[in-house]
Structure formats: C-alpha cells, structure tokens
Amino acid sequence: MNAPTDRMASALLLPQPYVLFLGDTTVRGYAKTAFGLRDWAPEKCVGELRLPGATVTAGLDAVTAAEARARGARALVIGVANQGGVIPASWRVSLIEALEAGLDLIAGMHMRLSDIPELVEAARRLGRQLIDVRVPPRQIPVGTGRKRSGKRLLTVGTDCALGKKYTALALFRAFERRGIAADFRASGQTGIMIAGGGIPMDAVVSDFEAGAAELLSPDADADHWDIIEGQGALTHPAYAAVSLGLLHGSQPDVFVVCHEPGRTEMLGMPGFPVTSVEEITELTTRLGRRTNPAIRCGGYAFNTAAMTDDAAAELMAKESRRLGLPVADPMRGGPAFEALVASCLSAD
Amino acid sequence: MNAPTDRMASALLLPQPYVLFLGDTTVRGYAKTAFGLRDWAPEKCVGELRLPGATVTAGLDAVTAAEARARGARALVIGVANQGGVIPASWRVSLIEALEAGLDLIAGMHMRLSDIPELVEAARRLGRQLIDVRVPPRQIPVGTGRKRSGKRLLTVGTDCALGKKYTALALFRAFERRGIAADFRASGQTGIMIAGGGIPMDAVVSDFEAGAAELLSPDADADHWDIIEGQGALTHPAYAAVSLGLLHGSQPDVFVVCHEPGRTEMLGMPGFPVTSVEEITELTTRLGRRTNPAIRCGGYAFNTAAMTDDAAAELMAKESRRLGLPVADPMRGGPAFEALVASCLSAD
C-alpha cells in the first residue's frame, strides 16, 4: 500500500490514483473489485464513473473522465466484471473518452484490454497504456531459493476465497499502526489494484512460480516486513501448484492460516472436504522449511462473517485454546486480533 | 509409445515417423534429444540428416529430406541443441528444404520455430506445420480432482535430472512385455518427442497445472496403466509447483521414487541438499492422497551409472532391506528391476 518502490521494479506497477469505472452495472456482486478498492485503498480513488442505467455505486463522487483527470487520477480501473468477464461494446466509447482525457486503462478481467482493437488503436494514438493485471511480467527468472534479507509473512488457507487477501491487508495495516516498516505484496488481481503493484501468481508459468514469488518480495531492511497475499491451498486439487510455488518463493518467517468455520466442502470442488487448520499448519511448516528452516505459524484468521458476534467469539476462543495460538477474525478486530498481530511479531 | 489415441486428443500430438536433424553439430552433449529418440523410439526414426561439418551421428542411415519422406517420415525433428538454444541461420536452408519435401518441423528448443519468419512463411506456403513442443495446448481446463478410470503410475524424484523419464520408459516397456495395456505419458520435451504426444508440464500456467495433468492421463479401461513421466521434486526450491500439480492431477495409484546415490546437493541449487528418499516417499504419499487415497510407493529407481556393478548391486540390496521395498536401476535391469515391476503391479 506504500508507493511502489524500486524494490518492486520487476513486478507490475500501476499508475495511481484511480477513477473507478462501474459501467452500467445493476448487480452488486459484479462490482467486487470496486468495493475492494473503496474499502482498502480509498485514498487512491478520486471518484467513480457510471454509465446511464447503472444502479450500483461504490459511494464515491460521480465524475467524468475529464473531472477525474483534473482531480489527479492517472488511470481508470474497470471495477466491475460482467458475466463471462467480457468488456461489452457499450463501455467502449467511455473507455476511449478516458484515454482521450489522459487516463491509462487498467483491467483484471478474462478478456484483455489489449485484445480490443479500438482500444489498442486509441491508446497508441494517444500515447496511453492498457494494463491487464492478469498478465504477469515478462522474463521472470527461475527460483534460486537464496535467503533474502528482511522478514516475511504469508497468509495461507484451508481453501480458496475465504480471506487470505483481507487478512494480509488487515495485518499490514496493523503493522503500520505499530510503526513497523511493511509492504503489502499482492499476488492476485484485486490485491494488485489495491497495492498498485504485484504479480498475478496464478497466471505465471509453473516453472517460474517460485521465481515469481522471489521477485514479489525482494531483499529489504532487516526489520522490514513483507505481508504477502496467499493463494489457493496446499491441498487444493486444482490450485496447489500456485500455493506451493508461492510458499517456496516467499520463504516466510511467519504464516497465518485463513479458514472459514462451517465451510465443509472446497468451493466448486464437490467431494473434496475443506482441509483442517491443523493439517494446513503442519504441511505449510514442513514444506516451507525447505526455503526457510525458521518458518512458524503465527496464528489463525477465521472468516466469521456468517456468524453472530457471540457465536464467533465463543468459537474463536475455544479454537485458540485447542490450537495453542491466537485465533481472530481480522474484520472484527479487537483483542483477539491484537493477540494475533503480537504473535506474528514475537521473536520465538 | 502406442499410436496416439483419441484419448490424447486434447494433448499435443506429433506427426510420425521422424527424420532426426543433427545440423552441423560437433559436440555429442548437444545431441541428447536425438540419442533419446534413437534409444527409446528407434522404430519411429527413418534416418538422420546431417549438414557438412557435422561429426556427431546417432548411428542411423544418412538421408536427405526427400529420401526421408520416401521412407515414410512425416516430420523432421531438430535433435540437437546449440549453446543458447537457438536455431542458427546455417540450418535454415535445410529446414525449408524439409518443408518443401513434405515434412513438418518439430523442435523443443527455447527459440521457437514459429518465431523465425522465413520458416513461418515457407510453412504457410507449403501447408506444413511448425511444432514447438515446449508450447502447451491451448484452453487447458482447471483441474477437477474427479477420479478417472484406469490405473496410473507416476515417477517422482529427490531432484531434477536423475532418471524420472528413463524410469517411466523402462517401466512402460516392462509392463508391455508382460502383456499389460499401458501408455507412456510424457511431461517434458524429449519425452514428448519419444511418445509422439504429451504436455510440457513446466510450460503450463500454474493455475492450470493440475488440469493439464488430468488431461495428460485421461479415463481408460479399468486394467490399463498410464506410466507418467515425473518432473522436478516436491522439495525443489524452484520447481516444486510443477511436481505438486503433476502429482495432484495424475492421481497415481503407484509412484516410484527416482534417486541418484552420491548426489548430495540439488543440481544448480547450491546449499540445498538432495532430499532423502524416505522424505519424498512420505511427502508424495501424504500430498498425493488428496486426489487418490489409495496411493502407495511401488519402490525405488536408483541411477547408478557412476558406480561399479558390484558397488551398485550391494548398495541397492542394502537400501532395499532398509526401505522394505524393491530398489533397482532400470538401466541395469535384472531381478531387482523385475521385483520393482512386480511390486508396482501388486494389488495391496
């Protein structure tokens, strides 16, 4: 969340601040990227741009492209997805107007900006960039396993889509509040837009997966922390390759296991139970030791959004006693979360 | 090694038989692909094509492109690498002559055939294919973890480059000799040329790694075996992502651990000791159980090329007693190897 530094030179860097493009969207669920940016990087958003017919808002000032530029925006971020991840023809006039107003375009959808000839032509004519954050940097080196300076924390999980990004962001904020030098290192598209840089780890060719993770969290000062957004799960039948490459290349000193109580089956993976937090803790320690023999679990981040306050507090207290480490919901904060932060920072 | 079947329809398929192109090579070490094809797929090689100045031979009949075509060849395989993996200008006339003679071109070098405009133009004009085997198929699906019919054996290793491909090929041959329906499933460039198909697993985007492995060994008859060429090692600091995706997607019933006694440090990875065979056995069993709960270790394949016969035999006998499973060098064969084959085939 800091301004991109030289240390990120090899990873993707995004022009900021942004104006959030919401298109003509009427379905809130499609605007996750816009909401993520509003929640985690409001200081980087100068306003929102909606088309006639849109009913969804991120609650920011409504602006035109020219107004956004006048407010300092350097890029328009497509903050909504459509069914199928396409960029509909009805948006194109507005996107070209944004290029003409002096804004670059940023998208993280399946359909690439650079695959739309009208946009490519306009960007070329106007000297503007089309940035698809799902495209990893070129010429990623093979991993070396070399121990890098600085400290690293990686969020891992018992499944996909249960809070690894939010946990990393909350820990990063908590570290900053304590005056600790830290960077949030994004490994997925929304995280990259929030951070203004990062590497889409799931889009990297597998031979270079660990090398990309090494690039993502480069050498740093001895007391600096990189808080790295995790991906997938080591036991995920489809995505474990991403998780293991990211673990090896991140060589974390500390990891936090993210979990959603009550989720019994992996998302979209019928027949595959969610792995237990103990199993993920043990596998992460065992496999992570390869590139950092000092790796340890700092605690557990539970996503209790679906639970009442009392039920969540009771469950987390019970699980903390059982597991012998702090268990907290980063979105709820409070003493449990402060205990988790302290545990991550404690030198064993 | 069987003729490509419909079941491989989504993976890469190569036109066969081949003529092996040796260029003007004078360094034997650069001709590994040609030697691998001669050793493992001689029935697919109608001859070799050398340029003036070449001193290296694979020992096949010297032919021209037209003669190769007359002998039934459908493709010319570039069987040599150069320093840097480039395709030198001095080869291009011959390669275009091959296209004109009716042959497709196949290469597995870093430099792609499709990046050489003269070849692209000639292939288009003549209606021929340029096939870069390092390019994975398009539109690989995400893995599902669905249990497929048929049986699968995967070779795994304590490091790279110590015999996973040769072990898989030797086991495949042994299964065939016993009258067992089997396919060799290639996951690397030389293996793909030998098999005539396969997927270059190290070139697949990591999100699709397990999905690619699922594609590589599709549903088959209940008593059919896929013998799958392994890649990397689960503890390799650079390449473990490839190994884990391949393990999950292959869902092997049996794995064989490949190891080179005396190798203490991972190849090109200073400071990283080779993992013990016990550790690889345990990790493979534990992680592989996710997609095949019945996974088991069939035994060990030692690469003893650097040892005397007596020393190799003594070591393997000792290690077999210690590990409680057959240990054999597939290149040496003999009763130890037959015991390994029997162990792989034994229903527990």
Number of domains in chain A: 2
Q: Is there a domain that residue B139 lies in?
A: no
Residue B82: the pLDDT is 73
Which CATH number fits the domain that encloses residue A25? 3.40.50.720
In a domain, A137, yes or no: no
Q: Give me the pLDDT at residue B28, please.
A: 87
Backbone dihedral region for residue A160 (phi beyond 0: left; psi -120 to 50: alpha; all else: beta): beta
Among the candidates B132, B166, B181, a domain finishes at: B132
From the candidates B206, B214, B278, B292, which should be mutated to test the interface with A, based on the most A CB atoms within 10 A?
A: B206
Per the listing, tokens 């390019």 go with: B135
In terms of domains, do A173 and A296 share one? yes
**What domain range includes position A217?**
151-345
**How distant is the Cα of A295 from the closest Cα of chain B, in angstroms?**
15
Backbone φ and ψ for A156, nearest 5 degrees, come out as -120, 175
Q: Which helix (H) or strand (E) holds A310?
A: helix A309-323
Both A33 and A163 in a single domain?
no
Residues A109 and A183 in one domain: no
How would you write the pLDDT of chain B (348 residues) with one tens digit per residue?
A: 333 333 333 467 899 999 999 999 888 888 989 999 999 999 999 999 999 999 999 999 999 999 999 999 999 999 987 767 788 888 999 999 999 999 999 998 878 999 999 999 999 999 999 999 999 988 899 999 999 999 999 999 999 999 999 999 999 999 999 999 999 999 999 999 999 999 999 999 999 999 999 999 999 999 999 999 999 999 999 999 999 999 999 999 999 999 999 999 999 999 999 999 999 999 999 999 999 999 999 999 999 999 999 999 999 999 999 999 999 999 999 999 999 999 999 975
Residues of chain A falling short of pLDDT 50: 1-10
Q: Do A206 and B210 touch (CB under 8 A)?
A: no
Peptide bond into A88 cis (omega under 30): no
Domain contains A143:
no
Partner B contacted by A144 (CB < 8 A): yes
Yes or no, beta carbons of B235 and A290 under 8 Å apart: yes
Both structure tokens of B58 = 């694979």
Whole-Å CA distances, B91 to A144, A280, B51, B75, B94: 35, 53, 8, 16, 6
Q: Note whether A231 and A123 are same-domain residues.
A: no
The verdict on residue B281 lying in a domain is: yes
B119/B215 same-domain check? no
Same domain, A202 and A339: yes
**Is there a single domain that holds both residue A229 and residue A335?**
yes
For B275, the closest chain A residue by CA position comes to A290
Q: Is residue A138 part of a domain?
A: no
CB contact under 8 A, B206 and A145: no
- Residue of A203, A237, A244 with shortest CB distance to B145: A237
B196 and B235 assigned to the same domain: yes
CB contact (8 A) between residue A210 and residue B239: yes
CA A307 centroid distance within chain: 24
Instruction: Compare all CA atoms of chain A with the CA of B237 and give the residue at the minimum distance.
Output: A145
B191 and B316 fall within a common domain: yes
C-alpha B231/C-alpha B204 separation (Å) is 13
Q: Dig out the tokens for B301 from the structure.
A: 């394949």
Give yes or no: residues A182 and A216 share one domain. yes
**Does B92 lie in the same domain as B59?**
yes
Q: How many CB atoms lie within 10 A of CB A183?
A: 26
B282 shares contact with chain A (CB less than 8 Å) = no
- Of all residues in chain A, the one with the smallest CA distance to B288 is A235
Mean pLDDT taken over chain A: 93
Per-residue confidence (pLDDT) for residue A347, from 0 to 100 = 74
Cα B107 off chain centre by: 14
Across the interface, whether the CB atoms of A272 and B145 are under 8 A apart is answered yes
Interatomic CA distance for residues A58 and A320, integer angstroms: 36
| B250/B231 Cα distance (integer angstroms) | 12
What is the ipTM for the molecules in this complex? 0.92
- The Cα of A111 is separated from the nearest Cα of chain B by a number of Å equal to 14
Separation between Cα atoms, residue B345 and residue B253, nearest integer Å: 10
The answer as to whether B320 is a domain residue is yes
Asked if residue A220 and residue A120 are part of one domain, the reply reads: no
pLDDT for residue A2: 39
> Residue A1 domain-assigned?
no
Say if B141 falls within a structural domain.
Answer: no
Instruction: Report the candidate in B225, B234, B215 with the shortest Cα–Cα distance to residue B254.
Output: B225
The CATH number of whichever domain residue A230 belongs to comes to 3.40.50.300
Query: Would you state the pLDDT for residue A265?
Result: 96
- Answer with the one of B132, B162, B180 that is the final residue of a domain: B132
Chain B residues touching residue A287 (CB < 8 angstroms): 234-235, 240, 283
What was the pLDDT predicted at A4? Answer: 37
